[in-house]
Amino acid sequence: MKKIALSVVVFLICKTGMAFEPNDTAKIKILFLGNSITYAGNYVTDIEAYLVTHHLDQQYEIINAGLPSETVSGLSEEGHAGGQFPRPDLHERLDRVLALVHPDIVYACYGMNDGIYLPLDVDRFQKFKDGINWLHDKIIAKGAKMIHVTPPIYDELKGKKIGYAHTLDTYANWIISRKVSSGWEVVDLHGPMKEYLNAHRNIDTQFHILGFALAEDGVHPNEAGHWIMAKSILLYMKEKEVESFPDIRTAVSVIPNGEKILQLISEKQHLMKDAWLTATQHTRPGMKNGLPLSEAKAKSKVLDEQINQLIR
């Protein structure tokens, strides 16, 4: 019998009260939901690569079902995507995703698109809160563990949408408040990203330098931004040592072939995210058609075998 990663065992027992008896075929399924930031997937890949290289016997499957442009509020600005289509709404596809994946744990990162890049508005904020509450109830009703992830920061210096940073501050603070008011499980990555950006901007100001960013367009984090996101989630999963690693490449270098393992996990995640999205019949135009799920899983299994060979 394979051993499950210690962090996942601690997480499941302490956070869910569930005891799992893994076997050679059963895997704990961890589903990530979100918008284009999640679909890009760097932080999801970083999390899997860290767990694989720091827990050499692992028994879980990490599934990325992020969809670009998506909201949980159901809102869309006029002329989105040049007027080609409104923003996709998680309400339209969630049931199909859950029916196909059957996750044990769900991490959901929404908010960046939900305020429609406008200053804080009471009605839009309520739509966001309603959507998050709906998502929480749906996941719990399916018997899965729901982990809410605060939205990444919006950088007004780069993105130019004045007032939107405050909107996302407000959305993030509301999600965090639900830890106390409703006992929700919450990962705050908004705060660490904001702190990191402000610290580096202060250094830039002292040396009369401009240009540091975690997202060049104000929205989509670069590699450093995704690593902060991954670290925040890994710290929530009791991976305390992750704090000492400045980037994922340093983190995976703790074992031989770590860099190659990271590359293979990235390849697998890119393969599978399109397959999952296609299989769940999302309705967003302009997305790459993934392989049939059975074919993608067969290719993924080959990649997993290569990873296991490198670990041994």
Domain boundaries, the chain: 6-239
The pLDDT assigned to 227 comes to 98
Over residues 150-159, the pLDDT tens digits come to 999 999 999 9
Confidence of residue 109 (pLDDT cuts 50, 70, 90): very high
Q: What is the mean pLDDT of the chain?
A: 91
Between the alpha carbon of residue 145 and those of residues 8, 223, 246, the distances in Å are 13, 28, 29
* pLDDT at 207 > cutoff 70: no
Between these two residues, 273 and 22, which has the higher pLDDT value?
273
CATH value of 6-239 in 3.40.50.720, 3.10.20.30, 3.40.50.150, 3.40.50.1110: 3.40.50.1110
- 2 vs 225, which has greater pLDDT? 225
pLDDT attached to residue 9: 45
Quick one: average pLDDT of 246-251?
98
> What pLDDT score was predicted for residue 230?
98
pLDDT at position 205: 62
- Residue 158 β-bridge partners: none
The reported pLDDT for the residue numbered 206 is: 60
Per-residue pLDDT of 164-183, as tens digits, reads 999 999 999 999 999 999 99
pLDDT at 8 over 80: no
Q: What is the pLDDT of residues 252-297, one digit of tens each?
A: 999 999 999 999 999 999 999 999 999 999 999 999 999 999 999 9
Per-residue pLDDT tens for 24-33? Answer: 346 899 999 9
Confidence of residue 22 (pLDDT cuts 50, 70, 90): very low
pLDDT at 237 over 80: yes
| Portion of the chain with pLDDT greater than 90, in percent | 85
State yes or no: pLDDT of 18 exceeds 70. Answer: no
Question: In angstroms, what CA-CA distances link 301 with 58, 63, 82, 132, 297?
Answer: 14, 14, 39, 34, 6
Query: Model confidence at 3, in pLDDT bands (50, 70, 90)?
Result: very low
Q: Categorize the per-residue pLDDT at 210 as very low, low, confident or very high, splitting at 50, 70 and 90.
A: low
Residue 60, pLDDT above cutoff 60: yes
pLDDT bin (cut points 50, 70, 90) of residue 23 is very low
